[in-house]
Chain A
Amino acid sequence: MTSITPLNKSSKQSVSSFSEPPHKEEHADHRLFGLIAFLVADGMTFAGFFAAYLTFKAVNPLLPDAVYELELPLPTLNTILLLISSATFHRAGQALSQTKAKECQKWLLITAGLGFAFLASQMFEYFTLPFGLTDNLYASTFYALTGFHGLHVTLGALMILIIWWQARSPNGRITNENKFPLEAVELYWHFVDGIWVILFIILYLL
């Protein structure tokens, strides 16, 4: 029998007797990888919605009296808001690497602010549009897509506030040594921005 395989040990032995390297070393670095895989999955949900929208556009004519018109200025502003917020988040990350805590917090707050400004402006657009959720096929798809994206922005903005709060706490939950929460939210935020750009092109420009 093999020499490296200790045999006949009961599985019920006391767990604390292990002095193994803790799971931490094994796992810590893979969280970002897991997040990327998750974002790929999330992106596929959007891809499904985009495919549905484009197919509807291609093969389903609007019913005769249906209204579906979009204005450009507001969504353009929204695009700019989100793009800037990606940049400000990047600055927050840089500040953290240079251990400038105060500056990092400032940029985080600005980013969250931009996110909420985006949501407010999106709300405003919803209320001024000439069509409602159930009016027609394009309208429904429009709301489903922008709504699903808006949900992502809302979650993102809330998470930014949470890490901002953690970064403020004196014993430093988020520091140069423990960057993962910030990096994760940053990656997510860039992803949500990227989706918006595609959405903007498909819904408003095409």
Chain B
Amino acid sequence: MTISIPPSTKNKPERLQPTGWLRYFSFSLDHKVIGIQYLVCGFIFYLIGGALASAIRIELTSPVSDFMARDVYNQVLTLHGTIMIFLWIVPVVNGAFGNYLIPFYVGARDMAFPRLNAVAFWLIPPAGLMLISSYFINGAAQSGWTAYPPLSISTPAAGQIIWIISVLLLGGSSIFGGINFIATILKLRRPGLQLMQLPMYCWAMLGTSILVVLSTPVLAGTLILLSFDIVAHTGFFNPTLGGNVIVYQHLFWFYSHPAVYIMVLPAFGLVSEILPVHSRKPLFGYTTMVYSIMAIVVLGLMVWAHHMFTSGTPPWMRLFFTIATAFIAVPTGIKFFNWVATLWGGRISLNTAILFSCGFIINFVLGGITGVALAQVPFDVHVHDTYFVVAHFHYIVYGGSVFVIFSSIYHWYPKFTGRLLDEKIGRLHFAITFIGFNLCFAPQHWLGLNGMPRRVAEYDPQFTFVNQLSSVGALLMALSTLPFLWNIFYSAFKGPISGDNPWQALTPEWLTSSPPPVENWIGEAPLVTKPYGYGQNAGGEPQSTSEGET
């Protein structure tokens, strides 16, 4: 490895960095290295969380708890949810792609606070390891990813406390990341670049980071109070000591509804980058997209109690939160129509990246529709805490966010490595994932409507067949990772050289070499004022650079 010490080191973040493979294991301050660190680390946790999911689905192939004991099932379920949310989707859609792309998009050489950035990443592996190790030490937490009291107070304390500490660390990481993104997007923009010229992912990350900064601290405070209840025997949320469990639910969902947008808004942004490139058309309705994101941010902070319709919420509250939730479907719908309009009449190359993006659009619509249905109190009181809810949010978080993550990996892999992924294997990966996913989760709507509760290891035998169907889907999803893993490893060494800009994309990250040099550009950062200027040859240059359509 080369270590070079430039003349004045005092304020120069990291020229003192290992290069080559080693840098991915170092406290690197390079946003691209940190982005890859987030991505790989997140993917490892995804494999672990996926193994846990497979265990859950194996257990549920029969109506009795034969594969796992009940308390083990609860631990596995809790770990699965926590890992998938806090160690996979949130770090990857925000940390991984945000770190890699945002500095390019604003025309900067790094994030605003590179050191804070590295700290934010390095909080994640220890937090994750700690969380998982709790399973082997004294038993992991058993109260689900929501950690509702009094359940979380009455289950074994050690695992729950470790869970709380891990989530606090991950929340801290998320807040540091959010501050960094806001500062980078608002403050590091290259001279001459206007806000309304930024690629859509910047707006998505700005909105997401605002949500992170406003809502995550509330979760942190709440979990600190919860830990007092567990360790010091205070009674904040303990009804037998005069406490109030509903307050926990309000505070928890004040974070966790925005959290669902923290998981999906960046995915919206990524899709908005990918679709125009592969359909050779400008992003439809840029301005409405921006306003939709901001509307989602504002409304997203005002709908949390739709998770609490069966918690004795008073009628006025039910009314308010039903209406607010219905409103949030409007900007979400606008975005959906904009994506479809972007594809409409485009010269679409049906490669793996766009297949996954289209898969996202389809799944997301289904999840959005069940979401709006769930927001209606008369419906929700029947299906709350059933498999219908499980189906709803998996359509959003897996069918939405995870599909987008895969789409993004296929799209940006050449940027990261300078090599192309294999398209045949990629399409196979997509096909198995799409079929497996729908087979796994579509039947769960039926299960929920017919009254199968969620979070149980045992169920009424009448549900056996449909559960087995769902488990077959899960098996396919597990299998689908194999071609993917093969593809990314094989192509890293043997894949065809992609060239710098294999998709002839116009967004700034492609206007440099692939992989990019340490400070992103040799010489000045290009000024890209029309990141979506595809197919606009009439009426002047679409692009301030001479990069045009081929």
Contact = CB atoms under 8 A, between A and B. Distances in A.
Interface in B527-547: 545-547
B15 A15 contact: yes
Task: Summarize B's interface: helix, strand, loop or mixed.
Answer: loop
A34 B228 contact: no
A30 B4 CA distance: 27
Interface in B10-37: 11-13, 15, 17, 19-20
Contact of A22 (B11, B180, B516): B11
Contacts of B522: 6, 9
B2 to A, nearest CB: 6
A8 B517 CA distance: 9
Kindly list the 5 A-B residue pairs having the minimum CB-CB distance in the complex, ordered from nearest: A16-B4, A24-B11, A48-B218, A140-B234, A45-B217
B513 A6 contact: yes
Given A16-B15, A23-B110, A40-B213, A7 B513 contact: yes
Interface size grouping (class) on chain A: 35 or more
Given A13-B517, A34-B113, A48 B546 contact: no
23 contacts: A2-B526, A4-B526, A5-B511, A5-B526, A6-B522, A15-B19, A16-B6, A18-B6, A18-B519, A20-B519, A23-B11, A29-B187, A37-B179, A40-B213, A40-B214, A41-B179, A41-B213, A42-B217, A48-B217, A48-B251, A52-B247, A56-B244, A137-B243
B218 A27 contact: no
Contact of B20 (A12, A28, A59, A148): A12
Given A34-B112, A37-B213, A55-B250, 15 more contacts: A5-B513, A5-B526, A5-B547, A6-B512, A6-B521, A9-B513, A11-B513, A11-B518, A23-B110, A24-B11, A45-B220, A52-B236, A52-B251, A137-B244, A140-B235
A5 B512 contact: yes
A14 interface: yes
A202 interface: no
Contact of B517 (A9, A31, A133): A9
Interface residues of B, number: 70
Contacts of B235: 134, 136-137, 140
A116 interface: no
B352 interface: no
Given A20-B519, A30-B187, A7 B500 contact: yes
B482 interface: no
Given A11-B516, A52-B225, A27 B545 contact: no
Nearest to A66: B242
Contacts of A171: none
B517 A144 contact: no
A60 B244 CA distance: 7
Nearest to B181: A37
Contacts of A162: none
B262 interface: no
Nearest to B248: A52
Contacts of B250: 51, 55
A28 B108 CA distance: 14
A38 interface: yes
A3 B546 contact: yes
A134 B241 CA distance: 9
B76 to A, nearest CB: 30
Interface in A134-159: 134, 136-137, 140-141, 144, 148
Contacts of A29: 187
B523 A6 contact: yes
B142 interface: no
B114 interface: yes
Contact of B183 (A1, A14, A33, A148): A33
B287 interface: no
A77 interface: no
Contact of A23 (B114, B179, B182): B114
Given A12-B19, A13-B517, A41 B236 contact: no
A23 B110 CA distance: 9
Interface in A58-84: 59-60, 62-63, 66
Given A11-B513, A47-B218, A137-B236, A4 B175 contact: no
A26 interface: yes
A134 B547 contact: no
Given A45-B221, A137-B243, A140-B228, A27 B519 contact: no
A47 B513 CA distance: 47
B515 interface: yes
A48 B251 CA distance: 7
Contacts of B183: 30, 33-34, 37
A10 B222 CA distance: 48
Contacts of A126: none
Interface string B248-277: 001100100000000000000000000000
A123 interface: no
A15 B518 CA distance: 7
Interface in B457-483: none
B137 interface: no
A137 B214 contact: no
A131 interface: no
Nearest to B16: A15
Given A20-B109, A26-B188, A4 B523 contact: yes
Report which residue of A3, A4, A10, A30 has the largest number of chain B beta carbons within 10 angstroms of its beta carbon: A4
B217 A44 contact: yes
Interface in B222-248: 222, 224-225, 228, 232-236, 241-244, 247
B491 to A, nearest CB: 17
Contact of B234 (A42, A52, A55, A134): A134
Nearest to B115: A27
